[in-house]
C-alpha cells in the first residue's frame, strides 16, 4: 500500500447459503419416525384384539343356545361394533336402545382383556368358556315378566296438547318421509309420527332413538315439551301387571349445558292418582317404577303420560315403559 493511504477493513457478510440454520430444523426427521411408530403401535394393538373370525365363532356359540328374553353385551365398551357385526338379528334395535335390564332373564357377556360389562356387575356366571381369545359368560338375571312395551303400542295412542286456555287439541298422526337423524341434527323424525302444530314443526311425538347424556342409545317415545301447557300421550287397553318400569331422559345436547328448566311428567294408570316425577339437567337417563293399583293388575286399562316445563327451549324429552308382572 502506498504511503499516505489509509487502510480500511471491510467486513463482508457471509453468503446466504452459509447463514446459521434456524432452530428446530434439525428435528425434521422426527416426523416420519413418529408416523412409523404410530403405525407399528396400531398393528400391535390389532394383534392383541380377536379378529372377525373369533367374534363369529363366539357368536355362533351364543346363538346355538339363544332363548327369547336373552340379552348379549360386550366389554370393554369399545368392542360394541365388533359385537354388532357378529350377532346380526339377535341384537335388535330395542335391545341396543334398552331403558334398563327389565325383562331380560339371561345375559350373555363377551369380553376381552379381563373386562366386565356394567350389566353383569355382581352376577355369578352359570356358564364360562373361552373362544378364540374371547371370554363367553352367561348369567341368570332375576326379572319380572314383560307384558307389553309401550313404545311398540304408540301407533294406537291418542296424542294431544293443551292450549293456553286449557283446551285439549289433537295431534295428527301422519306418514311422511323420515327427517333428521344426522350428525348434530337431533333424533330422527320417524315416518309415522304425531304432529301437534303446523306452525311449530319441532312439536311432534313419535318412536325414535336418542343419545342420552352419556351417548348411550335409547329407543323411546319422543314427547317434545311445548312449555307450561302439557303434551299428552294416552295409550288405551294396556295389559297390566304389578308395575310399569319407566326410563326417561333428554337428548344429550339439550341437557349437557345444564341451563334448561326442569321437566315435569306424570303417569296415570286407569283412573288412579298419578305418579309425578321431575327431571333436571345433568341427571341423564333415569329409571322409575310406577305401581299398578291392585284392582287393575291382570286387567287392561289406559296409561296416560303428561309432560311440561316452564320453558320449551331445548326440552327434547323421551321415555319408554314396560308393563311388568312379578
pLDDT score of 8: 47
HEC letters along 209-250: EEECCCCCEEEEEEECCCCCCCEEEEEEEEECCCEEEEEEEE
Q: Point out the least confidently predicted range of 60-64, 147-151, 184-188, 252-256.
A: 184-188
Q: Point out the least confidently predicted range of 20-34, 159-173, 203-217, 228-242.
A: 20-34
Give the Cα separation of 268 and 66 in Å (integer). 36
% of the chain beyond a pLDDT of 70: 89
For residues 235 and 154, the answer to whether their CB atoms sit within 8 Å is yes
pLDDT score of 228: 97
pLDDT digit string (tens) for 45-76?
555 678 888 999 999 999 999 999 999 999 99
Mean pLDDT score of the chain: 89
Asked whether the predicted pLDDT for residue 264 surpasses 50, the reply is yes
Q: What is the mean pLDDT of residues 249-277?
A: 95
Give the Cα separation of 317 and 266 in Å (integer). 13
Q: How far apart are the first and last CA of the chain?
A: 118
Return the C-alpha cell found at 40: 407399528
Is 197 exposed, middle or buried (CB count within 10 Å of its CB: 0-12, 13-18, 19+)? Answer: middle
Q: What is the mean pLDDT of residues 83-110?
A: 88
At residue 251, the 3 state secondary structure works out as: coil
How would DSSP label each residue in 128-158? EEEETTEEEEEEE----EEEEETTTTGGG-E
User: C-alpha 82: how far from its chain's center?
Assistant: 17
For residues 209 and 97, the answer to whether their CB atoms sit within 8 Å is yes
**Domains in the chain, CATH or no CATH each:** 52-143 (no CATH), 146-325 (2.60.120)
Q: Is 279 left (phi over 0), alpha (psi -120 to 50) or beta?
A: beta
Residue with cell 359385537: 83
Amino acid at each position: 500500500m502506498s504511503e499516505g493511504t489509509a487502510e480500511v477493513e471491510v467486513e463482508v457478510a457471509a453468503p446466504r447459503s452459509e447463514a446459521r440454520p434456524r432452530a428446530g430444523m434439525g428435528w425434521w426427521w422426527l416426523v416420519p419416525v413418529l408416523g412409523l411408530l404410530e403405525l407399528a403401535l396400531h398393528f400391535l394393538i390389532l394383534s392383541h384384539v380377536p379378529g372377525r373370525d373369533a367374534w363369529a365363532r363366539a357368536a355362533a356359540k351364543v346363538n346355538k343356545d339363544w332363548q327369547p328374553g336373552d340379552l348379549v353385551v360386550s366389554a370393554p365398551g369399545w368392542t360394541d361394533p365388533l359385537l354388532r357385526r357378529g350377532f346380526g338379528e339377535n341384537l335388535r334395535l330395542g335391545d341396543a336402545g334398552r331403558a334398563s335390564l327389565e325383562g331380560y332373564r339371561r345375559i350373555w357377556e363377551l369380553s376381552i382383556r379381563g373386562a366386565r360389562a356394567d350389566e353383569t356387575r355382581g352376577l355369578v356366571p352359570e356358564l364360562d368358556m373361552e373362544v378364540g381369545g374371547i371370554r363367553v359368560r352367561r348369567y341368570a338375571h332375576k326379572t319380572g315378566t314383560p307384558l307389553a312395551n309401550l313404545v311398540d303400542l304408540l301407533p294406537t295412542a291418542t296424542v294431544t296438547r293443551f292450549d293456553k286456555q286449557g283446551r285439549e287439541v289433537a295431534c295428527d298422526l301422519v306418514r311422511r318421509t323420515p327427517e333428521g337423524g344426522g350428525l348434530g341434527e337431533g333424533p330422527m323424525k320417524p315416518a309415522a309420527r304425531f304432529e301437534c302444530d303446523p306452525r311449530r314443526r319441532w312439536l311432534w311425538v313419535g318412536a325414535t332413538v336418542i343419545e342420552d347424556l352419556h351417548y348411550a342409545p335409547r329407543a323411546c317415545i319422543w314427547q317434545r315439551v311445548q312449555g307450561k301447557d302439557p303434551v299428552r300421550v294416552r295409550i288405551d287397553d294396556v295389559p297390566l301387571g304389578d308395575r310399569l318400569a319407566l326410563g326417561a331422559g333428554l337428548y344429550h345436547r339439550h341437557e349437557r349445558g345444564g341451563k334448561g328448566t326442569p321437566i315435569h311428567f306424570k303417569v296415570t294408570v286407569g283412573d288412579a292418582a298419578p305418579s309425578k316425577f321431575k327431571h333436571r339437567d345433568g341427571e341423564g337417563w333415569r329409571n322409575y317404577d310406577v305401581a299398578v293399583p291392585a284392582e287393575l293388575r291382570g286387567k287392561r286399562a289406559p296409561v296416560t303420560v303428561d309432560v311440561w316445563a316452564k320453558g320449551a327451549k331445548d326440552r327434547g324429552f323421551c321415555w319408554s315403559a314396560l308393563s311388568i308382572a312379578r
